[in-house]
């Protein structure tokens, strides 16, 4: 690929998705954009690049962005955050939201929906405790294709073996030929929306818990700050944020602070922090 074409695609992706594409990712650009070129009946990436330059076709630009921003995912990815959710985050919510009896959880940049559905499975295990509560899990992704896939709840044999214990597969999924579909009672807890994290997040409403794991790693510093501060505005003072294991708020924003001894978990700096009586009781 020519340098000027690479730069053009990199600029386009940065503008539309915040994705920062470094030169060492040229191979990724080529392998992901070839199928887009084929879909649009183009001979190759040269033609794709010149088409983007001369004709700003929204559908084409969208296809290019989606091809570059879809990432692999698995159920219960990294496991630990989900143990944390079950052991300390959910008990605290059950206590602090007892009057309202409502919990809203956001899976930001949800890809094909595994994180959102993993949370629905955990909440289902505690069904007795949340009976009569309004539980809402919202997954958002920049990719329309990923949002559609997430909504369907249909996964390949390969995907249902990534992180999903066999007991949970048997309990929650129905087999459809060589695919598996998550059951309707879990699907009704979860909704999916096409949403750009760089856009206005106001329309999404407030979330008690936000999962934004392994998303910031694709952004440059100013974009990370912008996204984290926008997320902070969608959280109540005692809301919690999950970041990926390799991510930090240090030097990016002072709106969040880490929760002591709970890797990957953050609260708002201006809020009451995490140490409610319930959380202390659960910790001891």
Chain residues binding other proteins by CB under 8 A are 74, 79, 157-158, 161-163, 165-167, 169-170, 175, 178
Comparison of 147 and 182: residue with beta carbon closer to other proteins: 182
CB of 187 to other proteins, least distance (A): 19
Strand arrangement, sheet containing 102-108 = 190-194, 134-141, 102-108, 209-212, 240-243, 265-268, 256-258
Comparison of 173 and 192: residue with beta carbon closer to other proteins: 173
CB of 74 to other proteins, least distance (A): 8
Comparison of 244 and 278: residue with beta carbon closer to other proteins: 244
CB of 169 to other proteins, least distance (A): 7
Say if CB 204 and CB 105 are below 8 A apart.
Answer: no
3-state SS, residue 58: helix
Strand partners, 138: 106, 191
Task: Please work out, in degrees rounded to the nearest 5, the angle formed at the alpha carbon of residue 209 by the alpha carbons of 71 and 137.
Answer: 65
Say if CB 234 and CB 207 are below 8 A apart.
Answer: yes
CB of 243 to other proteins, least distance (A): 22
Comparison of 41 and 176: residue with beta carbon closer to other proteins: 176
Comparison of 158 and 284: residue with beta carbon closer to other proteins: 158
CB atoms within 10 A of CB 20: 16
DSSP string, 165-188: -HHHHHHHEEEETTEEEE-HHHHT
Kindly give the residue spans of alpha helices, DSSP state H, lying in the chain. Answer: 3-17, 26-39, 45-54, 58-69, 80-84, 90-96, 114-125, 144-152, 166-172, 184-187, 221-232, 277-283
CB of 160 to other proteins, least distance (A): 9
Comparison of 162 and 193: residue with beta carbon closer to other proteins: 162
User: Which residues have C-beta within 8 Å of that of residue 218, sequence separation ≥ 6?
Assistant: 18, 19, 20, 69
CB of 264 to other proteins, least distance (A): 18
């Amino acid at each position: 690929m020519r340098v000027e074409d690479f730069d053009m695609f990199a600029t386009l992706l940065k503008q539309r998705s915040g994705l920062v594409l470094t030169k060492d990712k040229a191979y990724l650009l080529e392998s992901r954009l070839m199928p887009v070129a084929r879909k649009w009946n183009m001979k190759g990436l040269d033609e794709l690049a010149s088409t983007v330059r001369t004709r700003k076709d929204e559908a084409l630009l969208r296809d290019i962005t989606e091809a570059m921003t879809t990432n692999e995912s698995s159920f219960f990815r990294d496991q630990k955050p989900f143990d944390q959710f079950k052991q300390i985050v959910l008990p605290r919510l059950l206590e602090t939201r007892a009057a309202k009896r409502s919990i809203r959880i956001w899976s930001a940049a949800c890809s094909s929906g595994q994180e959102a559905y993993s949370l629905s499975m955990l909440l289902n295990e505690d069904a007795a405790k949340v009976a009569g509560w309004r539980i809402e899990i919202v997954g958002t992704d920049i990719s329309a294709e990923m949002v559609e896939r997430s909504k369907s709840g249909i996964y390949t044999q390969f995907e249902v073996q990534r992180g999903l214990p066999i007991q949970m597969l048997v309990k929650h999924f129905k087999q459809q030929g060589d695919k598996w579909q998550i059951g309707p009672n879990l699907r009704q807890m979860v909704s999916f929306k096409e949403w750009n994290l760089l856009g206005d997040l106001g329309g999404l409403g407030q979330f008690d818990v936000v999962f934004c794991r392994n998303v910031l790693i694709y952004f440059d510093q100013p974009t990370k700050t912008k996204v984290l501060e926008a997320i902070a505005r969608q959280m109540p003072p005692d809301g919690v944020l999950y970041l990926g294991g390799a991510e930090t708020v240090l030097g990016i924003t002072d709106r969040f602070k880490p929760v002591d001894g709970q890797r990957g978990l953050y609260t708002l700096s201006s809020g009451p922090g995490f140490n409610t009586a319930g959380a202390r009781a659960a910790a001891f």
